[in-house]
Structure 1
Amino acid sequence: MDNRDTVARLVSRYFPDHVIGEILSKRWIDNAIPFTALVLTVVVLGSVIPGFLSLSSLTDFSRQFAEFGLVVLALTIVMISGGIDLSVASVFSLAVLFSLIGVNVYQWPVPAVLAAILGMGMLCGALNGVLVGYLRLRAFLTTLVSLVIFRSVYEIVFLKMSTAMMSGFADSDLWIFIGEGSVFGIPLSFIITLVIAAAWHVVLSRMRPGWRLTAVGGARRSAHNAGINVRLMVFLAYVASGTMCALAGFLFAARLGSAGSDTGVGLEVQALTAAVLGGTAIGGGRGSVAKAIIGSLLVLLLTNGLINLGISGPVTSTILGAVLLAAVFVDMRWQKHRHRLLAKVYVSPAYLTLPPAPKVDAPASPYALNDRLREVEIIGLGQIEGPEDVILDRDDNLYCGTRHGDIVRFFGPDHKRHEVFAHIGGHPLGMAFDRSGNLLVCIGGMGLFQVAPDKTVTKLTDETNRSWTSIVDDSRLRLADDVDVAPDGRIYFSEATVRYEQEDWATDALESRASGRIICYDPRTGKTRTEIPKLVFANGVAMCRDGESFLFAESWTCSISRYWFAGPNQGRRERVISDLPGYPDNINRASDGNYWLALLGMRGPALDLALTMPGFRRRMAKRVAPDQWLYPNINTGCVVKFNEKGEILDSLWDLGGLNHPMITSMREHRGWLYLGGVSNNRIGRYRLKDADPNWCAQDAYWGPAP
């Protein structure tokens, strides 16, 4: 290995350049700029203004934030849905006014006033919701009109009731406690806002209403086509906005105990500035509680800081307007260029060196080329697409998945009749039968599923434990691709990569980074955990006959390994084959005690050399169209037989790929070898001359049927 190779290997191993792309792909990266601005603002104002960060100042600030934060959160909810609510300030003002009238003038009980105020906020929001959501009027103009109407009501009532309101006195300890009280030194209003913010965070990030709201804001037509009631979601967003603004006004009235003709004037500009500054998209579909909080803190700090510095109100408003304009500009530019930047840095090839490929053109080679697979019989030609894996039951019925999300069953023994055994969705990949005859299926992008003999479909798992060091959320299963079952019922399955989806397998091949894994699901506990991390495109799992270990394939390293999950060697891992001539896929048992292995493509010297040149592959990913990248040769199908020592015992080829250009799986059953391919539209059946004509894998695993 020369110096350049050494440097490339060390840089690839110890410089985690792929982390940059993974960070840019996270949703919370939108908060980085406003959060940095928030920290700088605190540092600057804290050093310039004496006592700005004192306990009394922070207590007063938290009460202001409780009210302002609710208004910003209200506006954020509407903006996530794809709308805008310019009437938030007017609803806030009405809530302040009627709270003071109810408490000071009419001496209503505080709970009754709160209920009335929240009801008023709901009605105001419902008015906007009906006009925008159901009558489909433009949100900007509609809420601008409602702003004027609500403000006019405020001014009319204020002129009539101002004297009585100011001369009245609220003789209520509860009212005083809401405005001035605290719990363990924390203002009550601040606690209320935090509770509401936490609840909304759960709704937006963990519950269906939040997901639907985001979907509506991102693409209303697509959301409608997906079955979401778009009008109802928009209506509810405005109702929530009005309710939270009313609550904010109630808290404001309790704190100050008075109102003026200018109460709430300009608040909508401040709230909009905070929402946009925090990272909430003006066009909808992007926003969070964290963004609303960051934006609220930033705007409130700027406003209070400018006031403490003696800057007049008009100048403060001008500065906030300039900040809003800058925030809109940055938001638009960031959204425009983020994906372009991400596309340039996300693909991060690793250094990978392979042993020399074995000879396939020498007659004495165990991989000697032949055309034996051209003799296969064809099953289901044109009736299926993408049978990545095939499997047979005790009754000689043949099962395979299709790219349309179906599991198709061909009835034995001739396999001419077929039916859709189950519709799951996604693309069914690896399959295995458990002891009870349930069909276990790996679904790309969806996880591990079970299909019972009565065709009932059950999701077993779609996530595993998340690793502490992973930037990418590796708890979600992206590309589960093959599965097998241990004698004790534990299910082991491979996941090719945590960085890419199934359609991006070629990008993962270009990277050849150790981002795959073997995962274990235990039906007895319902728990899923990662058994073997950091594999290079884990692809293929087969239980060994000792009941304590299994074989697994790593496609891009062209290798087969063995892992002991039980027994005295538990946790041990060893390489069985390290120099395959192609890229291994599914592994399955043979009737003679050995194993069959599918090679989905053949190695080539150009790609082998490129694997030692991560910089070259990175430049190729940036400058060359994906359809012109260096790819594995997937035009030649091959199946090999090997034993547990790693010795190659036989090889079957289809040169030129006339019948099976990309073999991804094979199953031996009663003297025949059945072939599947993820890019094929057929299943092949090849007669094995020396195989046991009565051997059935399901019986070999679990014994004869009772």
Structure 2
Amino acid sequence: MSAADTLVQLRYRFLPDHVVGEVLSKRWTDNAIPFIALLLTLAVFGSVNPGMFTAFGMYDLAGQIAEFGLLAIALTLVMISGGIDLSIGSVFALCAMTVLTALNVYNLPLPVAVLITLGVGAVCGAINGVLIGYLRLRAFLTTLVTLVMFRSIYEMVLPKFATQIVLGMPDSVVWDELGFGSFLGLPYAFFLSALIALIWHVVLSRSRPGWHIAAVGGARRSAHNAGINVRLVVCLTYVFCGMMVAVAATLFAARLTSVGTDTGLGMEISVLTAVILGGTTLGGGRGSVAKALIGSVIVLILTNGLLQLGVIGTVSALILGVVLLLAVWLDVRWVKNRQKLIDSSYVSPAYIKLTESVNAAENPVYAVNDKLRDVQTIGLGEVEGPEDVAVDRAGNIYSGSRHGEIHRWLAPDFKQHEIFAHIGGGTFGMNFDKDDNLVVCVGGMGLYMVTPEREVVKLTDETSRSLTSVIDDSRIRLADDLDIAPDGRVFFSEASIRYTVHDWPVDMIESRGNGRIICYDPRDKSTKTVLKNRIFPNGIVCLPDGESLLFNETWACRVCRYWYDGKKKGQVEIVLDGLPGYPDNINRASDGNYWVCLVGMRGPALDMMMTRPGLRRRMTRRIAPANWIYPNINTGCIIKISATGEVLESLWDKGGVNHPMVTSCKEHEGHLVIGGVSNNRVGRWKIPGADPTWSSPVDYWGAKQ
């Protein structure tokens, strides 16, 4: 390897660009800009006015955050659903007047007064919700009108009770403690608000109603097509918004014990500024409780700091308006450019120099022939994408499909066809265990099992998370092929932890080593990763020694051996390198050797590009995916190898009649059953001179008792 190639290899190994893309793709990066803005605000006003962060200043700020934060969460809830509520200032004033009137004028018990206040907030929210959710009026204009309506009601009712509210003194210790009590130097209202904020965080991020709200805000029509009652969700978000405003108004009333003509006036602008500044998008579908609270703290520190610096109210309002415009601009720019940043950095090719491929001139075994021309076609047009096949003890043939079904053709003539099981995801590797359960790798779902009674059982869909991984690699994204060890452990490959089955070309472009081998142990139902950083690990076959297995690395064009037990446990060695094509699945042969399927053949252009990661990266940025350089997966072959890597035989369909493209094959009673991920049928080819009594289930588990 030249010095230049060495430098390129080191650059793309130790300075990978994909880390930036992975970090930007994390949801918490939405809070990066608001968090930086918060730190800057704290630094500026902390240095200008140190008294703001004294014990008394923090106590006062915490009380305001308790109220203002709940208002921001309430508006965030509505904005995530795709709406907006400009009436929260008027509802806030109306609810504050309600709780004080109930306590100071009518001397009602505190629980009753709070329930009435919550009812007022819920009614105001329901009015907005019905008009916007069910009558489908525009949220901006509707809440602008209700802002005026609720404010008018407040100003008409307030003069009748203003004096009694000021002079009244409710006889409630809880009310007094809520307004003036403290714990650990902070008001009780702060802890109550924190509890409510935590509950809403769980609802929005961990519950079905929260997902429904985000789905409605993100794509209303798609949410409707998915079965979500969009109108009800929209209506309820406004109802809960009104109730949250009522809680905030109650805390405000307990702290100040009075209301005035300016209560809640212009509050909608302050709250809207906080919500947008926190990172909640105006377009809906994106927002969180954390964003709302960050924005609330920024706005409160800003307004309090300006007030303590002697800035008059009109100038302070002007500054707040400028901040709102800046927040909207940042939101628009961030939403527009964040995905571009991810796209430009997420795909990060590595340097990989493939071993020079062996051709037919160097090894006549690879000579193209027409042995597969006479393959018997089974189920033509009845199945799509049978990536892998399996044969049970009775000789029935099974295959997966891209539609999430497992097909079965009944022996001996394979003309009778049925759907054996519905799984729901693209089915790949499959094998039978000792109890005749069909264990299946399901793309995007994990490892599943289908019992002889056709019951579908999930075995595992996650493994241990890597400590050094930026993305959450605990979830199994692309379970590919499997085999079962003599003790029942299932070893299966996950081809890529970064990409799904539909994005396999991107993983090929990277060739970074995104795959791994995972072990599921049915004895204690544990799942653990046993081998990492493999280049698209694919086919797996356990060796009879009970200590090791062979697995294919597709983009590396090689077959490797891994010891999972014994003296060499944990070791990996290359058994066969420099294959002329891309190996997919590997399975046992009756003569003690192994069948390897080459899903496609190598080409000099792509081999050269593997040593040019910068070129591949530019290709993904500047050229449409349809024009990328891909492996040739239209023509492949089947080879037979020994356990030591000697190539013994090759099978081709030179004319491309029946099976020019293969991804898997299983030997059974003198025949080779063949599958292909791009095929619409299963093939069956008679092996000259093969043992007509040999079957894979018997070879693995012995004759059934």
* Superposition TM-score tier, normalisation by shorter sequence: over 0.9
Q: In the alignment, what sits opposite 1:684?
A: 683
Is the 1:66–1:189 Cα contact (8 Å) retained in structure 2?
A: yes
CA distance in 2, matches of 1:4, 1:624: 26
Asked whether the 8 Å contact 1:401–1:429 carries over to 2, the reply is yes
State the alpha-carbon separation in 2 of the partners of residues 54 and 484 from structure 1.
65
Deviation for aligned residue 1:71? 0.6
Indicate yes or no: 2:183 matched with 1:183. Answer: yes
Q: CA deviation at 1:15?
A: 0.5
Residue 404 of structure 1 corresponds to 403
Letter matched to residue 531 of structure 1: V
Q: CA deviation at 1:494?
A: 0.9
**What's 1:465 paired with?**
464
Task: Compute the displacement of 1:635 (Å).
Answer: 2.3
Q: Distance in 2 between matches of 1:524 and 1:289?
A: 42
Number of aligned positions between the proteins: 705
Q: Which amino acid aligns with 2:523?
A: R
After superposition, what is the alpha-carbon deviation per residue over 1:222-273, rounded to whole angstroms, capped at 9, x for unaligned? 1111111112211221121111111011111111111111111111111111
1:325-340 counterparts in 2 under 5 A?
A: 325-340=325-340
Write the distance in 1 (CA, Å) between the matches of 2:452 and 2:263: 68
Partner residue of 1:27? 27
Residue 617 of structure 2 is aligned to residue 618 of structure 1: yes
Q: Relative to structure 2, which stretch is displaced further, 550-559 or 61-70? A: 550-559
Q: Cα 1:140–1:524, aligned 2, differ >3 Å: closer, same or farther?
A: farther
C-alpha separation in 1, matches of 2:489 and 2:84? 52
SS in 2 for 1:655: coil
Residue ranges of structure 2 left out of the alignment (5+ in a row)? none
Residue type matched to 2:446 in 1?
G
What amino acid does structure 2 have at the position aligned with 1:639? I
**Alpha-carbon distance in structure 2 between the residues aligned to 1:541 and 1:202:** 41
Comparing 633-642 with 109-118, greater Cα deviation is found at 109-118
What is the CA distance between 1:345 and its match in structure 2?
2.1
Aligned 8 A contact 2:539 2:584 in 1: yes
What CA deviation, in whole Å up to 9, does each residue of 1:193-248 have, x standing for no partner?
Answer: 22122222222222211111111111111111111111221122112111111101
Contact kept in structure 1, 2:55 and 2:185, CA below 8 Å: no
SS state at 1:550 partner: strand
The secondary structure found in structure 1 opposite 2:53 is: coil
* 1:15 and 2:15 aligned: yes
Deviation at 1:120, TM superposition (A): 2.1
**Is 1:85 equivalent to 2:85 in the alignment?**
yes
> What does 1:145-544 align with in structure 2 at a 5 Å threshold?
145-362=145-362, 364-544=363-543
Using structure 2 for the length normalisation, give the TM-score. 0.97
* Contact 1:665–1:676 (8 Å) recurs in 2: yes
CA distance in structure 1 between the partners assigned to 2:119 and 2:519 by the alignment: 52
Paired residues for 1:137-148 under 5 Å: 137-148=137-148
Output the CA distance in 2 between the equivalents of 1:205 and 1:700. Answer: 49
**Alignment TM-score, normalising by the size of structure 1:** 0.97
Change (3 A) 1:621 1:687: same
Which one-letter code corresponds to 1:470 in the other structure? S
Q: Which amino acid aligns with 2:453?
A: D
**Closer, same or farther in 2 for the Cα pair 1:220/1:360, shift >3 Å?**
same
Deviates more, 1:368-377 or 1:566-575: 566-575
- Cα distance in structure 2, aligned partners of 1:650 and 1:3: 39
RMSD of the TM alignment (CA)? 1.6
Q: Does the 8 Å CA contact 2:370/2:655 hold for their aligned counterparts? A: no
* In structure 2, distance between residues paired with 1:469 and 1:90: 50
Contact 1:521 1:529 in 2 (8 A): yes
Bigger Cα displacement from structure 2, 660-669 vs 525-534: 525-534
Contact 1:635 1:656 in 2 (8 A): no
Question: Aligned partners of 1:202, 1:489: CA distance in 2, in Å?
Answer: 39
1:551 aligned partner, one-letter code: L
Q: Secondary structure at the match of 1:654?
A: coil
User: Cα gap change, 1:521/1:207 in structure 2, threshold over 3 Å: closer, same or farther?
Assistant: farther
Deviation of the 1:617 alpha carbon: 1.1
Change (3 A) 1:575 1:400: same
Letter in 1 for 2:552: A
The Cα of 1:75 is off from its aligned counterpart by 0.7
Is 2:421–2:450's contact at 8 Å kept on the other side of the alignment?
yes
**Matched residue SS, 1:498:** coil
Q: Which residue of 1 aligns with 2:134?
A: 134
Alignment of 1:570-589 (within 5 A): 570-589=569-588
Supply the AA of the counterpart residue of 2:11: V
How do residues 69-108 of structure 1 correspond to structure 2 at under 5 angstroms? 69-108=69-108
Q: Contact 1:479 / 1:501 at 8 angstroms: preserved in 2?
A: yes
| 1:490-512 deviation digits (Å, cap 9, x = unpaired) | 22211111111111111111111
Secondary structure in 2 matching 1:695:
coil
Q: Is residue 652–residue 660 contact of structure 2 (8 Å, CA) maintained in 1?
A: no
Correspondence for 2:63: 63
Asked if structure 2 preserves the Cα contact closer than 8 Å seen for 1:541 and 1:551, the reply is: yes
Shift of 1:166: 0.2
Structure 1 gaps, min length 5:
none
Q: Which amino acid aligns with 1:341?
A: L
SS at 2:364 equivalent: coil
Correspondence for 2:670: 671
Report the equivalent of 1:595: 594
Letter in 2 for 1:539: N
Q: Deviations over 1:582-626 (max 9, x none)?
A: 111111111122211111111122211111111111112122222
Contact between 1:350 and 1:512, CA under 8 Å: does it hold in 2?
yes
Q: Determine if contact 1:204/1:210 at 8 Å carries over to the other structure.
A: yes
- Of 265-274 and 546-555, deviating more is 546-555
- Mapped to 2, the partners of 1:105 and 1:671 lie a distance apart of 95
C-alpha displacement at 1:116, in angstroms? 2.1
The code of the aligned residue for 1:524 comes to: R
* One-letter amino acid of the counterpart of residue 33, structure 2: I
Q: Residues 130-172 of structure 1, C-alpha deviation per residue, up to 9 Å, x if partnerless?
A: 2222222222222222222221221122111000000111232
- What letter corresponds to residue 202 of structure 1 in structure 2? V
CA change 1:181–1:520 in 2 (3 A) is farther
Equivalent residue of 1:596, what SS?
Answer: strand
Matches of 1:212 and 1:435, distance apart in 2:
43
Q: SS of 1:416's equivalent?
A: coil
Paired position in structure 1 for 2:562: 563
User: Within 2, Cα distance between the matches of 1:449 and 1:547?
Assistant: 23
Q: What does residue 36 of structure 1 align with? A: 36
**Structure 2 match to 1:49:** 49
Residue 555 of structure 2 aligns to a residue in which SS? Answer: helix
Measure, in 1, the Cα distance between the counterparts of 2:45 and 2:559.
61
Equivalent residue, structure 2, for 1:116:
116
Query: Equivalents in 2 of 1:271, 1:660: separation in Å?
Result: 65
The CA deviation at 1:485 is 1.9
* Alignment check: 8 A CA contact 1:361 1:369 kept: no
Note if contact 2:437-2:451 (Cα within 8 Å) is conserved in structure 1. yes
Which residue matches 1:696?
Answer: 695
Write out the 4+ residue segments of structure 1 that deviate beyond 6 Å after TM superposition. none
- State how far apart, in whole Å, the 1-side matches of 2:136 and 2:554 are: 53
Shift in Å, 1:656: 5.5
Give the 3 Å change call, closer, same or farther, for CA 209–336 of structure 1 in structure 2: same
| 1:619-640 Cα deviation digits (max 9, x unpaired) | 1212222222221121222111
**Does structure 2 retain, via aligned residues, the 8 Å contact 1:672–1:688?**
yes
Structure 1 SS opposite 2:63: helix
Aligned residues of 1:671 and 1:688 also touching (Cα < 8 A): yes
**Shift of residue 52 of structure 1?**
2.1
Change in Cα spacing, 1:522 to 1:182, as seen in structure 2 (3 Å) is: farther
CA contact under 8 A between 1:637 and 1:655: conserved in structure 2?
no
Rounded Cα–Cα distance in structure 2 between residues aligned with 1:691 and 1:176 = 91
2:645 maps to which residue? Answer: 646
